[in-house]
Amino acid sequence: MSENIISIKNLNITYQSYGRTNVAVRDFDMTIKRGEIVSLVGESGAGKSTVGKSIMGLIDPPGKVSGEILFNEKNLVNMSESKKNRYRWKKISMIFQASLNSLNPTGTIFSDFYSVFRDKLDIKDKKIVNQKIDLLLDSVNLFHEIKKSFPHELSGGMKQRIMIALALSTEPELVIADEPTTALDVVTEYYVLSLLKEKIKALGISMLYITHDLPSVIFMADKIVVMEKGVIVEEGKVRDVITNPSNPYTKMLVQGLVF
């Protein structure tokens, strides 16, 4: 078994918009080792979410993906949808950017969990689902009764912890967290991130952590990959990169740590 859970080679991703081809990701290489947290950083539009979505197999035509995304040595690029569904959500899950709004507004929190268990894992027994939800809620320090709530009744921090519990509910091997805490105040942000990190590390899950926020990278990640306009401009161990940044954008981020 390879030490890498993900090994991306020569990934290129293009979108079509208004009849033009937009190269969102170019010649991208990245590996994530088992149990490792890799942070993907870069300015808005750099292509971070696009990389995350491509791992989940969520770049729809006319968008095009080429290159290799090896997950446990299986290439996810060009894999049939039915085969991809064996991985998507079950082995690889994603907390989407702006996911605070992705809970079903007209359903209870129970219904959000129930649809994951029913649709992704084929578990339909409500008693079993309830037991599983309670364990997941415990793990993100939420009380069990929250299952009966509707999203509008909950704070941002609560909803974000539910999103984390949902992403972990299928016991994936890799979680892609795309700016999972941007809507939260700093104290809540770090509370949620520490819960996420604790769970990830305890379960031996690997994570791609997408963010703009360098302090949180230092807190969360083992490795950092910096992107600019679709290409990697700098990468390395977090400590090495922030003590000796070479790229202008990375330097600016590091300066932001001081002021």
Binding site for ligand ATP (CB under 6 A): 15, 17, 22, 24, 42, 44-50, 97
Q: Which does 161 bind (CB under 5 to 8 A by kind): ligand ATP, Mg ion, none?
A: none
Tokens 């999103």, located at residue: 163
Q: How far is the CB of 179 from ligand ATP (least distance, A)?
A: 7
Q: Which does 206 bind (CB under 5 to 8 A by kind): ligand ATP, Mg ion, none?
A: none
CA-to-CA distance for 45 and 24, rounded, in angstroms?
A: 8
Q: How far is the CB of 93 from ligand ATP (least distance, A)?
A: 18
Tokens 């000796």, located at residue: 244
CA-to-CA distance for 86 and 68, rounded, in angstroms?
A: 18
Question: Residue count at the site for Mg ion (CB under 5 A)?
Answer: 2
Q: Which does 15 bind (CB under 5 to 8 A by kind): Mg ion, ligand ATP, none?
A: ligand ATP
> Interface mask (CB under 5 A) for Mg ion, residues 93-112, using x and -?
----x---------------
The nearer residue to Mg ion, 113 or 180, going by C-beta atoms, is: 180
Q: Which helix (H) or strand (E) is 178 found in, with range?
A: strand 174-178
If one asks whether residue 49 binds Mg ion (CB under 5 A), the answer comes out as yes
Q: Which does 181 bind (CB under 5 to 8 A by kind): ligand ATP, Mg ion, none?
A: none
Residue 250 burial by CB count (10 A; 0-12/13-18/19+): exposed, middle or buried? buried
Q: Which helix (H) or strand (E) is 115 found in, with range?
A: helix 109-121
DSSP 8-class letter at 146: G
Q: What is the dihedral of CA 235, 237, 238, 240, to 10 degrees?
A: -90
Q: How far is the CB of 11 from ligand ATP (least distance, A)?
A: 12
The site for Mg ion (CB under 5 A) is made up of 49, 97
